[in-house]
Each structure stands twice: as structure tokens, then as C-alpha cells.
């Protein structure tokens, strides 16, 4: 992730190389988002609970 194109991408978003989170952080965040979205869709009747 130290390649110049990726660094340029980060800089364009106002970030630096230290802003990149590892897999564990992303995994926890994505799982939390998924679980929250799934619960909301069940509550709205969009999907059924298994």
C-alpha cells in the first residue's frame, strides 16, 4: 500500500498512510454494518429471519 497511486488516492481523500486500517478493524466494522442492516431489513419486513 505504499505505491504512489495508492498514496495519491489517500492524499486526495485527506488521509495519509497511517490512516489505513488493518483487516481486523475492517472485518469488525463490516460485520457490525451487516448485522445492523440485516436487523433493520427484518424489522421492516424486507427479509425474513432465518
Q: What is the pLDDT averaged over residues 24-48?
A: 94
Cβ-contact 50, 40 below 8 angstroms: no
Task: Determine, yes or no, domain membership for 7.
Answer: no
Task: Determine, yes or no, domain membership for 26.
Answer: yes
Q: What is the pLDDT averaged over residues 12-41?
A: 89
Task: Determine, yes or no, domain membership for 5.
Answer: no
Task: Determine, yes or no, domain membership for 42.
Answer: yes
38/2 Cα distance (integer angstroms)? 35
18/7 Cα distance (integer angstroms)? 11
**How many domains is the chain built from?**
1
Q: What is the pLDDT averaged over residues 7-34?
A: 86
User: b or e along 27-38 (b: 16 or more beta carbons within 10 Å of the residue's beta carbon)?
Assistant: eeeeeeeeeeee
Does residue 1 have a pLDDT over 70?
no
Range of the domain at 31: 21-50
Task: Determine, yes or no, domain membership for 12.
Answer: no
Task: Determine, yes or no, domain membership for 50.
Answer: yes
Amino acid at each position: 500500500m505504499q505505491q504512489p497511486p495508492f498514496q495519491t488516492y489517500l492524499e486526495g481523500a485527506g488521509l495519509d498512510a497511517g490512516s489505513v486500517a488493518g483487516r481486523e478493524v475492517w472485518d469488525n466494522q463490516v460485520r457490525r454494518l451487516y448485522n445492523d442492516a440485516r436487523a433493520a431489513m427484518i424489522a421492516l419486513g424486507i427479509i425474513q429471519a432465518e
